[in-house]
Chain A
């Protein structure tokens, strides 16, 4: 394996670099503020470098999903392994990392957004050290979620991320930060508990034969869970379409749905986004929401393929509600940040719609939309941050005519807004189109897909209305001449804009990474969901 550095695999580096950074930051004296910032910059930059290396060395032909051979950059080690034999078998939790076409886009996104978030945090005054420590810890948690292939490890990272996020909102947030933080925490915790239950149930149901000894061992290995043959006779989740499996699917689903968030589990999101500092909103919308959708694609669907099929219609209805309800709620907001928060709900609905199609175009649209929404919405929150830094208000009606005083800013905003409303030529359009294409091909989803296109019009309406209220019209004299975006802000926004544009024109740069994994996943769900599972 060539993908090592100092004997440690790339994925371990990219995941735990922030922990190293965290320790360094802790050792830096309190006064050396810029040293802390630059440490974080350096660490996250290294992550970006590694993610680019992963992208460049990625083999497009390997599909991953349920085979270890198909996974790339794999690292596997015993983490917790109790050798002793009992009637129950052996306890084994593995340190199992690997990526395939579904996770690589997320890894790149996480690295990129974390890097940008450090710059977005440049003006944090309060307890900078604590902030940077938390930010880096969060980074590890997020990255870990996207590279873990062991469910237990996945869960550990999932929970690890919850904590720093709680502090980041609760300490560095806005006026109602405590309420928002608790709400975020409780919502997610509730989801985590359900996920934990499903995970434990899966653990006790799945066992694989250890090639060395020939004994059966229970495992948290996600890939093993995707093979119906590994479910032990008489175990809780064995079988096909049983009630228990439905419960477990539902428990997992709610755990992930809260993160996405799917209506009606979404109300933590507007509060958390609004109260969080800019960088944290960027991470929340850019990466955290993707974890929910990623969990559905990575865990729920392939492990419970028959449930994925059975509940596709219900999920599509939720997707429709997300799209239209989110858009209408966004339209009614007066707070700039809250509007963007609700637009996230609407856009994540498109991810859901795409994945419920369970076909190539839809799934590809969903994964690509996750990436694109990450970049686009990150831009939108940075944009709100720029104006909030200058005026300390986010009231949409308090502005007007900014196009005259801040032309560069307006140009960037225009790109971001049009990307969000799905203008062709920008990346959001491609993924929306593919999601709709995929869903429309499924007979029973056709009507819902048509209904969901309503979101296309509504999004255009509220985005353009916002653009008009804030940027067009006469200059609001109250603010005088506001400074246009400075170099640091340009440095955060322009790379995102370039990515959005490039992927909008030639999406294959990203789609090629996903193709074989997505096809394999679709195949797996189709086969395990029907014929193969009947062998049980």
Chain B
């Protein structure tokens, strides 16, 4: 298959979901089953094409990057720069090809799952349309070869996320969550936007390649390495928003208000991984400082969210915080320089986390139906304290869920073990190279916490006894359309798909295909180069593996002791003197929401109110004051204005007309001293006409509000009659003509003066 064909295929894959969106958003009420089959089959077609692209890419063009561009905007010959264009385009490298498949798999399976989960929903068709829009935008992020299209797709992904989180917008919490997600993401996006501005101002292009080449050849933003670091960190701000990193992680748990398959697709596997993808895309231009910031942000995020996850009771909230934590892991991995490992974890995590969410969806679906059956509208279908013992009733869901849990906990023979181990080894190497040992310490600690809270979730949900035997009877395994995706994801959580060696990811095709790019930044500010990093990595790898097995084992053991064997009393621990405070702190998510509420949200509201007051009272007060003041001066005292206006209007009228006329005459006369009499008369008449018309219009403008004048105005004959009548009757009120008289007088003076 030629390169061109491959690129055309990529464009087709990109546009297919858009077609899906356009068709479904307009026609969903007119086609059978609201078009769920159309959306799903389109996605499966995209999946097949994505696989084709991946295989051909890895087979025939393993080390090449395929690109295509077109001129989108032509700025022409720009002063100071020369010919300038904005070229946009797509590119397929191994990272893009793999990501394309990841997104297609998750999206296709989530479509399939949704047919079961969402069936009968009020906005069923629109739901599938939005899924299409999301997939289109996500493909855009994956395939772009420039920052512009990246930003565009980035925000469109935000839009689809907004629409899908708010799918059940009747619920205030859902509408709030959608809004919060969009706005918090926007904060990150603005950072990214400024980063792009820095790069564009320097390089006059958006293209990744051209920018990296220029940096490599020594051109850096505003000639300063600090700006280069700043650009890197600002671009990373986009990832902080989208991948829910500290301090912008607060939107993701709320986003669980959306339908569960959406959580699986967008808020676990793909969109939130876009941030990680962005960092891999821009890795080459990150300076050592920027990478350090990235690594720390990742580590802090992983730590904070893991501590929150252990205290949550809502099945989706646990998974949400787990997602935030794992994203922090990936970001940390790339930050320390374990580029391939970070991206690998993205891939493996996409599979098992999508599975976890769909599995939780299956559980919620069953709980919901059982509660519905029992006519119980009080009990929370998502609270794990209401569950237990589901293993026997929902075997497929249980076994697949267990597989995902093993993977996320880093148990050998799973994909998660491979990727996590590589990241942890990377952090150790980073510690060794830079002395930032806190990062590997957090890494291993969080690995233990992850194993603990995930097994806590499995035990409380599936093992032990169900809380309500009556309800238990009504629980059933979900339909095939939902369990098949679960099985597929479970299979994909097995190590063999990524590497033939169960304890060595580096032996697999993945590590061969995705190689860490050489940094392009100036040597002085670059992180450790690939060789140095690889050497250190090799040196610490065995330790990393042993340690990661140990912490995972401890985490799992503690979870079983506490929740299964009940050797440790969880309640007692949570209420112990010091731990009580800590537990509350974790349960309330470190009080981030409350903090942001009182600072940013209320601060903005207060500022807005203050500005509104300023506008209405100060500025308008000044404007109105000037008006009153002027009237006062014009008429001496107020009562004169009130009583004397009828009389004064007439004289003002005459005065103004005369002055205008004389003004014209004087001006023209001075201008054209030698003009013929005819010309002077022409000018004079023109002047008179203009002044009369102007004056009349202003006059009526102020006084003529009653219908008599309106009618007079609209009728051409009455037009003049009304004017004369008005003038003669000397009635109506007027303010403008006073101004006008002064203004015209002023103009006359100026006219003479400027001459």
Contacts and interface: CB of A to CB of B under 8 A. Distances in A.
Interface residues of B, number: 84
Contact of A82 (B182, B671, B702): B671
Given A88-B671, A182-B702, 4 more contacts: A189-B740, A464-B183, A468-B176, A472-B170
A449 B190 CA distance: 12
B568 interface: no
B200 to A, nearest CB: 6
B674 A86 contact: yes
Contacts of A425: 152, 156
B753 to A, nearest CB: 9
Interface string A410-440: 0000000010000111000100000011001
A456 B194 CA distance: 11
16 contacts: A26-B714, A82-B672, A87-B673, A182-B735, A182-B736, A183-B623, A186-B736, A187-B623, A267-B615, A329-B611, A332-B612, A404-B170, A424-B151, A460-B183, A460-B186, A516-B76
Interface stretch (A66-74, A126-134, A207-215): A126-134
A82 to B, nearest CB: 5
Contacts of B374: none
A80 B686 contact: yes
A364 B79 CA distance: 13
**7 smallest A-B Cβ distances: which pairs?**
A424-B152, A332-B612, A130-B714, A84-B675, A332-B608, A472-B169, A331-B608
A465 B175 CA distance: 10
Interface stretch (A163-171, A221-229, A279-287, A312-320): A163-171
A12 interface: no
Binding site secondary structure of chain B? helix
Contact of A130 (B176, B193, B710): B710
A508 B74 contact: yes
B534 interface: no
A86 B183 contact: no
B604 A473 contact: no
B77 to A, nearest CB: 6
A194 to B, nearest CB: 10
A359 B198 CA distance: 16
Nearest to B126: A407
Interface of A: 26, 80, 82-88, 90-91, 127, 129-130, 133, 163, 166-167, 170-171, 178, 182-183, 185-187, 189, 193, 196-197, 200-201, 204, 236, 264, 266-267, 270, 325, 328-329, 331-333, 359-361, 364, 401, 403-404, 418, 423-425, 429, 436-437, 440-441, 449-450, 453-454, 456-458, 460-461, 464-465, 468, 471-474, 506-508, 511-512, 515-516, 519, 522-523, 526
Interface in B91-140: none
Given A82-B675, A127-B707, A515-B74, A264 B619 contact: yes
A170 B79 contact: no
B72 A523 contact: no
Interface in B147-172: 151-156, 159, 162, 166, 169-170, 172
B79 A519 contact: yes
A332 B755 contact: no
A423 B675 CA distance: 62
B192 to A, nearest CB: 11
B604 A328 contact: yes
Interface stretch (B295-303, B438-446, B511-519, B744-752): B744-752
Contacts of B646: none
A456 B697 CA distance: 43
B179 A468 contact: yes
Contact of B84 (A270, A360, A468): A360
Given A82-B683, A183-B623, A196 B156 contact: no
Contacts of B170: 401, 404, 472-474
B731 interface: no
B711 interface: yes
Given A84-B675, A360-B79, A91 B668 contact: yes
B159 A418 contact: yes
A512 B73 CA distance: 8
Of B75, B76, B84, chain A has the most CB atoms within 10 Å of the CB of: B76
Nearest to B200: A437
A187 B198 CA distance: 40
B175 A468 contact: yes
Contact of B747 (A163, A193, A523): A193
B676 interface: yes
B197 interface: yes
Given A26-B714, A178-B705, A325-B611, A331 B604 contact: yes
Nearest to A455: B190
Contacts of A183: 623
B612 A333 contact: yes
B12 interface: no
Interface in B37-80: 72-80
B186 A86 contact: no
Contacts of A185: 701, 736
Contacts of A133: 713-714
A196 B747 contact: yes
A166 B701 contact: yes
Contacts of B609: 332
B174 to A, nearest CB: 8
Nearest to B620: A267
Nearest to B234: A450
